[in-house]
Structure 1
Amino acid sequence: MKPELQTFYELIEELEVAMMTTRRADGHLESRAMATQRHAAGADLWFVAAEGTGKLEDIEDDPHVNLAYYKDRTREWVSVSGLATLSRDRDKIQELYAPDWKLWFGGDGDPRNGTADDPRLVLIGVDVHAASFLEISKPQPVVLYELAKGFLTGDTPELGETQRIER
C-alpha cells in the first residue's frame, strides 16, 4: 500500500464520523453524519443506513458523494469524493456488523432490530475517486504555537502537509 493511502486509512479510522453529502432529486445538497465502518473488501469505505431513508434515495438518483472528516483537537481533515453503491447483501452485512448498530436501529419491538438480521440494514459502499487530507507532522504543542503565531502575525500557520490521492 502506498504511504499516502496508508496515512489516509489511519486518519479515517481515527476520525470515525464523516459528514456524507449527497445530491437530492431537487438538485440541492444534503449532508448528514455517518459512522465509518471497518475496512472490508468490496468498497474503499463502508457505512450503514436504514432502508427507506432519504440518503438512500439520493444515492439511487445520483451516486456521487463527498465525505468530510475533521478533528478539531489536531486540525486534521480529510475530504473524499467518490461513487456510492447500495448493498443489501446479508453476508456482507454479517461481516461488517458491529454491536453498536443496535443504538441506531432500535424501535418497533421486532427482536431483530439493530441485529445483523435486521432487514432494514442497508450498506453504503464508497469507492474513492479522489481524496485530500492534511497530515499533521508536528506535536500538538507546536501546532498550537503555529496557530497562535498565525493569529498574532497574520501569517498562515504551518501545520503539516496536504496530501492528495487520485484514482
Structure 2
Amino acid sequence: MKPELKQLYEMVEEIEVAMMTTRRPDGHLESRPMATQKRASGADLWFVAAEGSGKTRDIAADPHVNLAYYKDRTREWVSVSGIATLSRDRGTIHELYARDWSMWFADEGDPRHGTPDDPRLVLIGVDVHAASFLELDRPQPVVLFEVVKGWVTGDTPDVGEVQRVEN
C-alpha cells in the first residue's frame, strides 16, 4: 500500500463522517452525510444505505461520487473521488454490520429489521480513483499562529502540505 493511501485511511477513520456527493438523474449534485464503515475487502471505502433511497438511485444512474471529510478542530480535510457500486451481498453486510445501523432501519414488523439480515440494507462500496488531503505538519499552536498571521498580513497560512493519491 502506498504511504499516502495509508495516511488517507488513517485520516478518514479519524474523521468518520463524509459528505457524499452524487449526481441525480436530472444532472444536479446532491450531498448528504454518510458514516464511513470499517474496512473490508471489495471496496476501498464502505457505507450503508437503505434500498431505494435517493443516493442508491443516484449511484445506479451515475456511479461517480465525491467524498468530502473535514475535521473542524484541526482544519484537516480529505477529498476523495471514486466510483461507487451497490452491494447486497449478505456476507459483506454481516462482516461490516454495526449495531448502531438498527437506528436507521426502524422496526416495521419484520423480525429482520435492524439486523444484518434486513432486506433494506444496501452497501455502497467506493473504489478510490484520486484523493487529496491536507497533512498538518506543525503543532496546533503553530497552525493557529499561521492562520492569525494570514488574517493580519493577507498571506496564505502555511499550515501543512496538500497530499495527492492517484489509484
Bin of the TM-score, shorter chain as denominator length: over 0.9
State how far apart, in whole Å, the 2-side matches of 1:12 and 1:28 are: 26
Match in the other structure for 2:101: 101
Structure 1 segments of 4+ aligned residues over 6 angstroms from their partners? none
Match in the other structure for 2:147: 147
Match in the other structure for 1:14: 14
Match in the other structure for 2:87: 87
State how far apart, in whole Å, the 2-side matches of 1:3 and 1:128 are: 15
Match in the other structure for 2:65: 65
State how far apart, in whole Å, the 1-side matches of 2:131 and 2:62 are: 19
Equivalent runs, 1:1-167 vs 2, <5 Å: 1-167=1-167
> TM-score, structure 1 length as denominator?
0.97
The amino acid of 2:95's aligned partner reads E
State how far apart, in whole Å, the 2-side matches of 1:100 and 1:142 are: 38
How far off its partner does 1:112 sit? 2.0
State how far apart, in whole Å, the 1-side matches of 2:52 and 2:5 are: 33
Q: Structure 1: which 5+ residue stretches go unaligned?
A: none
- The C-alpha deviation readout for 1:52-89, integer Å capped at 9, x for no partner, is 10110110000000000001110100001100000000
State how far apart, in whole Å, the 2-side matches of 1:107 and 1:155 are: 55
State how far apart, in whole Å, the 1-side matches of 2:139 and 2:115 are: 41
Q: Structure 2: which 5+ residue stretches go unaligned?
A: none
Note the aligned Cα RMSD (angstroms): 0.9
- The C-alpha deviation readout for 1:119-159, integer Å capped at 9, x for no partner, is 10000000001000001111111111111111111111111
> TM-score, structure 2 length as denominator?
0.97
